[in-house]
Chain A
Amino acid sequence: MSQTLFEKIWDSHVVVERDGGPSILYIDRHLVHEVTSPQAFEGLRLNKRKVRRPDLTIATMDHNVPTSDRSLPIIDQISELQIKTLEKNCKDFGIQLFDIKSPYQGIVHVIGPQLGITLPGTTIVCGDSHTSTHGAFGALAFGIGTSEVEHVLATQTIRMEKPKPFEINVVGKRKNQHAITAKDIILSIIRHIGTNGGTGTVIEYRGEAISDLTMEQRMTICNMSIEAGARAGLVAPDQKTFDYLKGRKFTPKNYDKLVSQWQETLYTDSNALFAKSFTIDVSNIAPQVSWGTNPAMVCDVTESVPFPEEYAKGNEDQRKAAEKALQYMNLKAGTQMTDIEINRVFIGSCTNSRIEDLIEASKVVKGNKVSSKVRAMVVPGSQMVKKQAEEMGLDKIFKNANFEWRESGCSMCLGMNPDILAPGERCASTSNRNFEGRQGTGGRTHLVSPVMAAAAAIKGHFVDVREMDLN
C-alpha cells in the first residue's frame, strides 16, 4: 500500500496498535531541558521508577540560562534552582548532560542536529513544542508535555493518536535568495493556513523550493510547523541531509549502511494520499513581517498594517482578535510597515540562530552601525555555533556595529532569563512567537528573518531588505 513518509515512520515505531485510540509508539531520541522536566523526574521518584533508556536520552540547559559571562554566578536564584535540579536529576538517573559550562551546550533543537543526535527516520520527542525542528532531517519529531516526558523516561514510548498527513507543496524559485529566506516562506505559509491550519496533522514540506533549501533553512521551516498548529513537520531526507550528519559526535558508526537503508525507505510513495494539501508559490513572495499577536498576523514589508475588517474577511472572532492585537501592539491600521520604528533587535532562538543565519545577518551589518535608538543583540544557538562564528570573525562584525554578542541559549525568544523587553518596547525578532508578553510583559514583538532584523537594527525601522546589497 502506498504510504506517506510520516506514515512509514509511524508504522515502523508502533509497539501496540489501537484502532481509534492512542497507539503506543517507540521513541528513539528523548531530549530533556531544565524547564519542563523537574516535575517528570519528581514523578519517577515518587513511583520508584527508573529511566528505561538513559542511552537514548540527552539533556541540556537552554531556556532560562543567562547569556552573559558564563564564569559569573547565576543571579536569579529560582533559575539557578531549576538548573541545579536538572544536574541532580541527570546524575541520579544516569543521563548525559551538556551543562552551562559544556562546549556542547545550546538550544536543544540546535545541538540535536549539530551533534548527530537527530537522525532520519527516527522518532524524537522533547518537552518543547519546537521539537518539530528535527523534522528537517526526515525524523518524526514533536513536542510533548511534562507528564509525557515522565512517560517517555519510564517507558521509552508514548501514547498518541495518529495524526493525519498534510502536504505543503512549496514551488517556484525565490528571486533573491539572500533577501527572501526560509523564515519568509514559513511565515507566508502560516499567514495563509492560519495558526490552526495544521491542527491534528503532521506536515510534509515538499517541492522544488524545499529541495533548494540548505539543511539549516529546512530547520527554520519545520521549526515553525507548530505555529500552524501541526504536531510535527518534516522533509524527506536527501543527499544534503546525509552529508550534514556525516561525522558528527553521535553519528552512528555504521552510518553509510544506514544511509543506504534510508535511501530505500524514507520517502513518500508516488501515489500516497494526504488528508490535506496546500500549495504555495514562492517566486514572488516579499520579506514578511508580523504586525499582530499571533504568527498568522503577518504581511509583506511593502504593505501597511491591515484594517481588522479587511484581515478578518467576515469572521467576527478574527476581527475582534485583530482589533485587540493592534491595540496591544500600539499600531494604527494603514501605517506603512516601513514606517514602524523599533527599539530592540533580537537575532537568535531555535528558529534562526544557526551559523548560516548569523552569516547572512552579518552581511547586512558589515560596515554599518546599529541605530542610536536601538539596542540589538545576537544570541548564537549553541556554543558550537558561537565558536564557529568567532572563528569566521562574525562576532567582530556584530560588535563593531554595536550589537551585543552573547552566550548561547533561548534568551529573549521567551524571556525566561534576564533578556527581556521592557513594557512598551518594540522588537524586531528572529524568533517564532509574537504572543502578548512573550518577550517580556508589555513588550511588542515583530517576527522577521535574520536579514530583516539586521536591517531594522541599522535603520531603526523596518526596511525592505531587497533594497540592500547582500552579496
Chain B
Amino acid sequence: MPFDKVNVDTDQIVPKQFLKLIHKTGFGKFLFYNWRFDNNGKPISDFILNDPKYKNSKILITRDNFGCGSSREHAVWALKDYGFFVIIAPSFADIFYSNCFKNGLLPIKLEPKIVDDLIQTGTEIEVDLEAQKIKTQTKTTSFEIDDHRKQILLKGLDDIAMTLEYEDKISNYEKRVMTPSLL
C-alpha cells in the first residue's frame, strides 16, 4: 500500500482515545482512525485504507520519519493487528523503529529515490527477510538490518529470556556499581 505522507506521527497511527485499553490486541480497527473514519464513524472513501484495491496489503510504503512523536507501542500493535508485516520508508523515528521488532513488524529503510519509485508505481512487491531482498516484477533491491534483530524476527525470539542469560553479568554490574535506591 503506497502511503504518500511525510512525518506520520504515532498520534495519527493510533489517536489517544484508544490508548486506555489494558491488553495488546484488537488495535487494528483504530489504525489511522481520524483519517479513516468521519465524525459519524463512516469510512472516508478517498483514504487509502478504505480503497478495496489495497484491502489485503501486508506492506506499507511511506515517506520520511514514519512513527515520530509519542512512544506509544499501540501504534505498532495497530499496524500489526490490521495486517501489516512490513513498513518501508526512507527513515523511521527511533522509538517506533525499536518497537517494531518487539512485535514481529519489519521496518525497512531504503533510499528515498527507491521508496519514491515504489510509491509512484504502486506495484506489488515481495520481501524476503532471510535474504534481505525486496523484489518487484522488474527489480531486486537489498536492504540492511541488524543481525540480532533479524534473528529475533525470523525465530520469534523472546528478548527478555535472551537478556536473562546474562544474569551473571547483570549481577556483577549491580555488585560493582551501587545505584542509589529509592526506598
Residues of A within 8 A of B (CB): 12, 15-16, 18, 20-22, 24, 26, 28-29, 35-36, 38-39, 42, 47, 49, 52, 55-58, 63-64, 76, 78-79, 81-82, 85, 96, 117, 119, 122, 127-129, 143-148, 150-151, 154-157, 159-161, 163, 195-196, 199-200, 226, 229, 231, 250, 252, 258, 294, 317-318, 320-321, 414-416, 423, 433, 435-438, 441-442
Segment at the A interface, from B21-29, B45-53, B79-87, B127-135: B21-29
Minimum CB distance partner of A63 in chain B: B19
Roughly how many angstroms separate A318 CA and B182 CA in the complex, as a whole number?
46
Known A21-B146, A85-B22; judge A28-B15 contact (CB<8 A): no
Contact A24 B91 (CB under 8 A): no
Which A residues touch B70, using CB under 8 A?
128-129, 414, 433
Which B residues touch A147, using CB under 8 A?
73, 99, 102-103, 159
Known A294-B7, A416-B19; judge A151-B163 contact (CB<8 A): yes
* B154: Cβ under 8 A from any A Cβ: no
Which B residues touch A22, using CB under 8 A?
146, 148-149
* B57: Cβ under 8 A from any A Cβ: no
- CB-contact partner of A437 in B34, B64, B158, under 8 A: B34
- CB-contact partner of A159 in B9, B34, B159, B174, under 8 A: B159
* Given A24-B166, A144-B95, A155-B170, 16 other A-B residues pairs in contact with their CB atoms under 8 A: A15-B170, A15-B173, A24-B163, A26-B173, A39-B24, A58-B182, A63-B19, A144-B98, A145-B71, A145-B95, A156-B170, A160-B98, A196-B65, A294-B9, A317-B6, A435-B9
Contact A143 B16 (CB under 8 A): no
Contact A196 B64 (CB under 8 A): yes
Which A residues touch B174, using CB under 8 A?
26, 156
Contact B182 A39 (CB under 8 A): no
Closest 4 CB pairs of A and B: A147-B102, A38-B22, A145-B99, A145-B73
Which B residues touch A433, using CB under 8 A?
9, 11, 69-70
Main secondary structure of the interface of B (DSSP, over half): loop
CB proximity of A416 to chain B, nearest CB, Å: 5
1/0 per residue, CB under 8 A from A, across B166-183: the answer is 100110011001011111
The number of chain B residues with a CB under 8 A from chain A is: 56
Roughly how many angstroms separate A436 CA and B159 CA in the complex, as a whole number?
34
Contact A317 B146 (CB under 8 A): no
- CB-contact partner of A146 in B65, B73, B93, B148, under 8 A: B73
CB proximity of B24 to chain A, nearest CB, Å: 5
Roughly how many angstroms separate A76 CA and B34 CA in the complex, as a whole number?
21
- CB-contact partner of A416 in B12, B20, B39, B146, under 8 A: B20
* B78: Cβ under 8 A from any A Cβ: no
Minimum CB distance partner of A49 in chain B: B160
Minimum CB distance partner of B21 in chain A: A78
Q: 16 A-B residue contacts at CB 8 Å?
A: A24-B169, A36-B72, A39-B22, A129-B70, A145-B98, A145-B102, A147-B159, A154-B160, A159-B163, A195-B68, A199-B94, A317-B6, A435-B12, A437-B11, A437-B15, A441-B34
